[in-house]
C-alpha cells in the first residue's frame, strides 16, 4: 500500500506541475485536495453553522518536498460558554491519535474556516495562520464561502501569509516604521494558492454510480437572475468597513497633526533657549542648563497600523467579490436579453 501511495503522490506531483505553477514560484503550485475533504467541509457548515458564526476545522495531509497535499480533515466543535472545561488541544490530540490508527495522515497542514460574505481578514485569522505557518511553512487556511456556493459554484480558496508578513509577525513590530520598512501593502498580506480537486479512481467510479442512481436534478442556481439580495448584503458590509477605515484615517491625521505641532513646539523651545543663553552670555551670567527636550515633550503614541492594513485588506476582498458578482450578473442579463430577443 505504501508503494501505491507513493505512486499516487508522484502522479499527483507530475500532473500538478504539468498544470503549471501559476504563481511563478516553483514550489508553490497547485494544492491537490481529496474530494471527500470538500464534502466534509460542506457538510460541517451545513449542519453546524448558523448565520454569521464561523465553523472551523483542521486539515490533514502530506508535505511532499515543497508541495502540500490535503487528504483529510476533521471539524472543531463550536465554542460554547457552557463548555468551559473543554480542552481543545486534547480533542485535537485524541482525534489525531485515533486517525493514525486507521492510516489517515496525521500531519497538521492547515485549517479551514467558513466565512460570511467574504469577511475573514481579521486579527484572529492572522494570528492563527501565523502560528500554523511558523510550525509548517507550507500550511494554508482554506476559506469556504457557503453562501456563494449555494449560489451555484463551489467557492473554496486557499491562502497563505506572504513571507514579508511572516517576518513582521515574527518581530511583532506592528508600528508604522516596521511596516514601512517591510513595504507591505494590503495586497501583499495574503497570497492565494490555487487548489485542484484530485479524484482517485475509486472516487471516479463512485461518481459514475451516483450519476446513475441519483435522480437529483441540477437546479442551475448559477443562472439565477434575482440575486440583488446578495449584492445588498455585500455592499452593506463594505460600507461598514469603509466607515471603520475612515475613522482610522481621522485618527492617523490627528496623530500626524499632533506630531508636527509638537515638532514646532520643540523647535520654538530650543530657539528660545538659545536666545536666552546668548542674552545671558552677554550679561555675564551662567547659561541655563540644557534640559532634556525629549523628556519635556513626550511624543504622541503613533496609532497601530496593523488594523488599518487588515481593514484595507478586507475592503479589497469585498471589492473583488462585488466585482466578480457584477460581472457574472452582467453576463446573465445579456443571456436573458438574448432569450427575450428570440421570443419577441
Kindly identify the residues of this chain, within the stretch 210-229, that bind other proteins according to CB under 8 A.
210-211, 213-214, 216, 218-223
Q: Which of residues 108-137 bind other proteins (CB under 8 A)?
A: none
Of the candidates 108, 90, 119, which has an alpha carbon nearest to the alpha carbon of residue 322?
119
Q: Single out the residue of 6, 25, 53, 94 in contact with other proteins (rule: CB under 8 A).
A: 94
Cell numbers 456556493 correspond to 149
Q: How far is the CB of 332 from other proteins (least distance, A)?
A: 6
254 touching other proteins, by CB under 8 A:
no
336 touching other proteins, by CB under 8 A:
yes
32 touching other proteins, by CB under 8 A:
yes
Contacts with other proteins: how many residues (CB under 8 A)? Answer: 109
Q: How far is the CB of 304 from other proteins (least distance, A)?
A: 12
Q: Distance (Å, rounded) from C-alpha 263 to C-alpha 172?
A: 28
E-assigned strand segments in 259-318: none
Continuous segment of H or E residues that includes residue 190: strand 190-193
| DSSP 8-state secondary structure symbol assigned to residue 61 | E
300 touching other proteins, by CB under 8 A:
no
Q: Which of residues 136-165 bind other proteins (CB under 8 A)?
A: 146, 149-150, 152-156
Q: Which of residues 279-298 bind other proteins (CB under 8 A)?
A: none
Q: Single out the residue of 13, 106, 176, 273 in contact with other proteins (rule: CB under 8 A).
A: 176
Q: Single out the residue of 76, 111, 112, 159 in contact with other proteins (rule: CB under 8 A).
A: 76
Q: How far is the CB of 32 from other proteins (least distance, A)?
A: 7
Which cell numbers hold the place of 220? 442551475
268 touching other proteins, by CB under 8 A:
no
Contacts (Cβ under 8 Å, ≥6 apart) of 175 = 302, 304, 305
Q: Which of residues 34-73 bind other proteins (CB under 8 A)?
A: 34-36, 38-40, 42-48, 71-72
Q: Distance (Å, rounded) from C-alpha 136 to C-alpha 59?
A: 12
344 touching other proteins, by CB under 8 A:
yes
Contacts (Cβ under 8 Å, ≥6 apart) of 329 = 225, 227, 231
Pick between residue 47 and residue 127 the one whose CB is nearest to other proteins: 47
Q: Single out the residue of 198, 230, 237, 310 in contact with other proteins (rule: CB under 8 A).
A: 198
Q: How far is the CB of 122 from other proteins (least distance, A)?
A: 17
Residue 204's Cβ-count burial label (10 Å; 0-12, 13-18, 19+) is exposed
Continuous segment of H or E residues that includes residue 62: strand 56-64
Q: Single out the residue of 10, 200, 236, 263 in contact with other proteins (rule: CB under 8 A).
A: 200
Most distant pair of Cα atoms in the chain: their distance:
107
Q: Which of residues 302-331 bind other proteins (CB under 8 A)?
A: 305, 308, 312, 315-316, 318-319, 322-324, 326-331
Of the candidates 49, 105, 102, which has an alpha carbon nearest to the alpha carbon of residue 76?
49
| DSSP 8-state secondary structure symbol assigned to residue 264 | H
| DSSP 8-state secondary structure symbol assigned to residue 113 | E
245 touching other proteins, by CB under 8 A:
yes
Of the candidates 39, 52, 40, 178, which has an alpha carbon nearest to the alpha carbon of residue 118?
52
Amino acid at each position: 500500500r505504501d508503494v501505491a501511495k507513493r505512486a499516487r503522490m508522484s502522479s499527483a506531483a507530475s500532473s500538478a506541475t504539468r498544470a503549471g505553477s501559476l504563481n511563478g514560484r516553483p514550489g508553490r503550485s497547485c494544492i491537490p485536495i481529496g474530494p471527500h475533504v470538500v464534502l466534509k467541509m460542506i457538510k460541517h457548515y451545513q449542519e453546524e453553522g448558523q448565520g454569521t458564526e464561523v465553523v472551523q476545522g483542521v486539515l490533514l495531509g502530506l508535505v511532499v518536498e515543497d508541495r502540500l497535499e490535503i487528504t483529510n480533515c476533521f471539524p472543531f466543535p463550536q465554542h460554547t460558554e457552557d463548555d468551559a472545561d473543554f480542552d481543545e488541544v486534547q480533542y485535537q490530540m485524541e482525534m489525531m491519535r485515533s486517525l493514525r490508527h486507521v492510516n489517515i495522515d496525521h500531519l497538521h497542514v492547515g485549517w479551514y474556516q467558513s466565512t460570511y460574505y467574504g469577511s475573514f481578514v481579521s486579527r484572529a485569522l492572522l494570528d492563527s495562520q501565523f502560528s500554523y505557518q511558523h510550525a509548517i511553512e507550507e500550511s494554508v487556511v482554506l476559506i469556504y464561502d457557503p453562501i456563494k456556493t449555494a449560489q451555484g459554484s463551489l467557492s473554496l480558496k486557499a491562502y497563505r501569509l506572504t513571507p514579508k508578513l511572516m517576518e513582521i509577525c515574527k518581530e511583532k513590530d506592528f508600528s508604522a516604521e516596521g511596516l514601512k520598512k517591510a513595504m507591505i501593502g494590503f495586497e501583499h498580506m495574503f497570497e492565494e494558492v490555487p487548489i485542484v480537486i484530485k479524484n482517485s479512481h475509486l472516487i471516479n467510479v463512485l461518481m459514475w454510480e451516483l450519476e446513475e442512481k441519483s435522480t437529483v436534478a441540477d437546479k442551475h442556481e448559477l443562472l439565477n437572475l434575482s440575486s440583488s439580495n446578495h449584492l445588498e448584503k455585500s455592499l452593506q458590509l463594505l460600507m461598514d468597513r469603509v466607515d471603520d477605515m475612515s475613522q482610522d484615517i481621522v485618527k492617523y491625521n490627528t496623530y500626524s497633526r499632533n506630531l508636527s505641532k509638537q515638532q514646532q513646539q520643540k523647535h520654538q523651545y530650543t530657539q528660545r533657549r538659545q536666545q536666552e543663553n546668548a542674552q545671558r552670555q552677554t550679561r555675564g551670567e551662567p547659561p541655563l542648563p540644557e534640559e532634556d527636550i525629549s523628556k519635556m515633550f513626550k511624543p504622541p503614541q503613533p496609532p497601530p497600523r496593523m488594523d488599518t492594513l487588515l481593514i484595507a485588506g478586507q475592503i479589497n476582498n469585498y471589492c473583488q467579490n462585488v466585482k466578480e458578482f457584477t460581472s457574472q450578473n452582467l453576463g446573465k442579463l445579456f443571456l436573458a436579453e438574448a432569450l427575450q430577443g428570440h421570443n419577441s
